[in-house]
Structure 1
Amino acid sequence: MEAVLPIEVEIPSMRVLVESKLKEAEWAKQRYEQLNLIDERRLTTLCHGQCYQQRMARTFNKKVRPCEFSPSDLVLRKVLHIASDSRGKFAYKYDGPFIVKEVFDGRAIILNDMDGNENALPVNADALKKYYP
């Protein structure tokens, strides 16, 4: 007794043809119809995937609140814990406050300390949040 793979049951092969005793013309007709339907199934799947992505993007974008920064705003900068800190989960999440000196198009921002010292490297706006004293 031989095992039949599930794929062979869905798309008949010569082995399934011999076992089921179909006529060759009938088998060829069924095979041709299935091959024609493959393109239609691919297009349906592609359309479904694109609709799903659009729905997920729309749902995500509903909750996004754009944050605009302008010069002289007070902001806090997210701390990237590169060095291990002994305080663990009680370490500070944000550093600052800082003053926004300049805002660029690509959401890059140059900050000043409260003393007026300029930070040389720009900071991404995603790592900032407004500070309200």
Structure 2
Amino acid sequence: MALEIPQTEKVKLKLQEQDGIDERKLVAQQNLELYQARTTRAYEKLSRLRSFRKRESMLVLRRPIVGRHHSPKFAPNWEGHFIIDQVYDGGAYLLANADGEDFISN
């Protein structure tokens, strides 16, 4: 003999179950937001905005645009001694070498 549960009881149980799921979703969402806030705070603590001015000198990191860089193992990671010739919006710079010639990376 199977015990029959009235339809109203089934609906009540289903709603209680749904409420429990909603509460767990809310707790998970709150935990996610707290984690993202901690991560953002830790990143901003270690990073700082760096802007360069015209006539400042700098080195350029040598990196391949695509694929792997196939240079000798002990090749330098940095290129030359460059001077900032022009500063553009958005953090772009026009570089010139020590002789005043525009630098174009190849």
**TM bucket normalised to smaller:** 0.7 to 0.9
Q: Deviations over 1:2-49 (max 9, x none)?
A: xxxxxxxxxxxxxxxx6xx47244443222111133333222222221
- Check 1:42–1:115 CA distance in 2 against 1; reply closer, same or farther (3 A cut): same
Q: Which residue of 1 aligns with 2:99?
A: 115
- Structure having the higher helix fraction is 1
Separation (CA, whole Å) in 2 of partners of 1:100 and 1:64: 22
Cα-Cα RMSD: 2.2
* TM-score, length basis structure 1: 0.64
- Check 1:104–1:22 CA distance in 2 against 1; reply closer, same or farther (3 A cut): farther
Shift of 1:118: 1.1
- Check 1:80–1:71 CA distance in 2 against 1; reply closer, same or farther (3 A cut): same
Separation (CA, whole Å) in 1 of partners of 2:25 and 2:69: 50
Shift of 1:53: 0.5
Question: Equivalent residue of 1:102, what SS?
Answer: strand
Letter in 1 for 2:19: N
Q: Deviations over 1:72-120 (max 9, x none)?
A: 11100000146522x22x1111001100011122111110011110135
How many correspondences in the alignment?
A: 100
* TM-score, length basis structure 2: 0.78
User: Percent identity among equivalent residues?
Assistant: 27
- Check 1:44–1:29 CA distance in 2 against 1; reply closer, same or farther (3 A cut): same
Letter in 2 for 1:108: A
Q: Which residue of 2 aligns with 1:97?
A: 81
Q: Which residue of 1 aligns with 2:13?
A: 30
Q: Which residue of 2 aligns with 1:61?
A: 44
Question: Equivalent residue of 1:66, what SS?
Answer: coil
* Aligned positions of 1:6-21 closer than 5 A: 21=3
Unaligned runs of 5+ in 2: none
Unaligned runs of 5+ in 1: 1-17, 122-133
Equivalent of 2:56, from 69, 73, 86?
73
Deviating above 3 A after TM superposition, structure 1's stretches of 4 or more consecutive aligned residues are 24-28
